Structure 1
Amino acid sequence: MTTTELDGGTERGALPPRALIVTMLGLYVREFGGWISVSALIRLMAAAGVDEQAVRSSLSRLKRRGIVEAERRAGVAGYALSEYARTVLEVGDRRIFAQREQQARDWVVVVFSVPESERQKRHALRSRLSWLGFGTVSSGVWIAPGHLADDAREVLLGDGLDPYVDLFRAEYLAFGDPAAKVARWWDLDSLEQLYTDFLDAHEPARAAWEAQRHVPPGPEAFADYVRALTAWRRLPYLDPGLPTDLLPASWSGTKAAETFFELHRLLAGPAHDFVTAEAGAARQG
């Protein structure tokens, strides 16, 4: 699935057209052979409240960032996902749609040292570790729950950053309260607010759709699903799946996850059927 690595992130409370389009591309375009016509994308995004000018402007930005590539097929103007985008989407699928169980208290620790002459690599490392959900112990020591070890290895190797890094599995043994340490290594207050914002925005839709006995395909199901997924997809990166017993008692992340996955259960199928019908109609005329 999609990640903020592709759309550059979203501001709190905002769902900009570019982010909605990236969600749409990640959800469906790989299924369509990695390509979609401009007319089909405009038609579909209109159902999510994005006008044609915003679609075209967003596509231009995504092209400049190497996310999509302009390509004509059978004389029809369209866009294909880049190889880079496909790789990021594959990593994102595992993170965004994973329903996490209670995590064990094992950790993966990254220790890195970068020569001053290559300080751009230091910036790249910090950016990638932050994107993966690592917390900061000190400037060259970053930590995450142990289940992120494979993702870390894959991303650091793929970006050619492995020569600067040592990767360890670890267990916290002594000399502090682990919950207090976690609160220092991650910005839990900001993350809690993001979860609360998500619930405020999408819990009413969950309740309304759940009250229906059957959810038919249509623009409403598609729009609510794309909006919910766009708002949700950055959260599993900011929240790396910390052990529940190390989080505040009032933690709203669990309720937010329940809301998202219930919307996913209710709306993914009807939204997919709507997109398939609309994309087919666009191809025919």
Structure 2
Amino acid sequence: MINVSDQHAPRSLIVTLYGAYGRDFPGPVPVAELIRLLAAVGVDAPSVRSSVSRLKRRGLLLPARTAEGAAGYELSPDARQLLQDGDRRVYAPPPDGDEGWVLAVFSVPESERQKRHVLRSRLSGLGFGTAAPGVWIAPARLYEETRHTLHRLRLDGYVDLFRGEHLGFAPTAESVGRWWDLAAIAKEHEAFLDRHGPVLRTWRRRTGTPPEEAYHDYLLALDSWRHLPYTDPGLPAPLLPVDWPGARSAAVFHELHERLRDAGAEFAGV
């Protein structure tokens, strides 16, 4: 059994499992099934139990009984909203044009400065770039998810959101290079390609799709990929450097998804 690497932490894999297949279960996912499905990607039972406990404390998983009376866990309403918001990023094709921008402008009293740190962290985690102190920017399609996230965290009272277009004075492509660390984002795409490109090439040479192997490779690819659309918010191609690797990494993920997801569902039992 291959050990889970730092790239595939048990807690992250559990969230990925629920996103990929857990929502298709007829009820709560039994603990025994969680252990079986995580064992297939190298996670031992104690790690599953401790990670589930952390997710339960964060309010993402709720203990529940299956129809047969077995102990299991189901997604909380907040977790379902997070996964629904994530679906729009994880499975969406690369953007094909400039849709404008959403701006987040916030002001936090000094007496609540810890919330200022949380706001910056959350906006960064949603893929926002920094246009100026207290002014954050992202592609306009991220508005709904941003609104849901800030409301869920009770931070909406500190933020104003605006839609707009960039009118100058520097060219937008030049400004984007200041708002985001494009070199760091490109490295994330290259790492995904290095890790999962060879996996796809191997599957292209195969004639069959064994369910357990498909499940293994798909879950690991999805676990790697689902973080990337937050690191890279999907900036319009004309604003990015030549030979930007984002489209290539997206193509690898989407082909793996098409080839492996349904076969993996057989192993997952959904």
> Counterparts of 1:105-254 in structure 2 under 5 Å?
106-216=100-210, 218-254=211-247
- Give the TM-score of the pair, scaled to structure 1: 0.86
User: 1:142-166: CA deviations, max 9, x gaps?
Assistant: 0111222222233333433333222
Q: Does the Cα contact within 8 Å between 1:24 and 1:226 map onto a contact in 2?
A: yes
The equivalent residue for 2:259 is 266
Alpha-carbon displacement from aligned partner over 1:60-81 (angstroms, at most 9, x marks no partner):
2222222212333343222222
- CA displacement at 1:121 relative to structure 2: 2.8
Q: Is 1:51 matched with 2:44?
A: yes
Name the CA shift for 1:70/1:158 in 2 (closer, same or farther; >3 Å). closer
Q: In 1, Cα distance between the equivalents of 2:144 and 2:60?
A: 24
Contact 2:28-2:65 at 8 Å conserved across structures: no
Shift of residue 13, structure 1, vs aligned partner:
6.0
Preserved CA contact (<8 Å) 1:103 1:241: no
Indicate the residue corresponding to 1:63 in structure 2: 56
> For residue 231 of structure 1, what is the amino acid of its counterpart?
S
Q: Residue type matched to 1:69 in 2?
A: L
Aligned to 2:95: 101
Structure 1 unmatched runs, 5+: 1-11, 278-285
Identity across aligned pairs (percent)? 51
Cα separation, 1, equivalents of 2:257 and 2:248:
14
Counterpart contact for 1:114–1:164, Cα < 8 Å: yes
Q: Is the 8 A contact 1:13 1:197 kept in 2?
A: no
Moved more, 92-101 or 13-22: 13-22
Which moves more between the two structures, 256-265 or 166-175?
A: 166-175
Q: What is the Cα-based RMSD across aligned positions, in Å?
A: 1.9
CA distance in 2: counterparts of 1:267 and 1:140, whole angstroms: 43
Could you say what secondary structure the match of 1:172 adopts? coil
Distance 1:131 1:34 in 2: 31
**Paired residue total:** 265
The one-letter code matched in structure 2 to 1:37 is P
Distance 1:34 1:132, change over 3 A: farther
TM-score with structure 2 setting the length: 0.91
User: How far apart, in 2, do the equivalents of 1:118 and 1:156 lie?
Assistant: 16
Q: Tell me the distance in 2 between the aligned counterparts of 1:160 and 1:46.
A: 37
Instruction: Give the letter for the 1:196 counterpart.
Output: E
For structure 1, which segment, 47-56 or 267-276, has the greater mean C-alpha deviation from structure 2 after superposition?
47-56
Q: 1:65 to 1:143 in 2, by over 3 A?
A: same
* 1:70 partner letter: P
Gaps of 5+ in 2: none
Deviates more, 1:40-49 or 1:123-132: 123-132
2:122 and 2:257 map into 1 onto residues whose CA distance is 28
CA distance in 1, matches of 2:156, 2:71: 40
Q: Residues 150 and 71 of structure 1: is their aligned pair in 2 closer, same or farther, counting only changes over 3 Å?
A: closer
Deviation at 1:133, TM superposition (A): 0.9
1:206 maps to amino acid: L
CA distance in 2 between partners of 1:181 and 1:157 (Å)? 29
Q: What do the CA deviations read for 1:91-139 (whole angstroms, capped 9, x no partner)?
A: 1111111112323151111111122122233223222211211101122
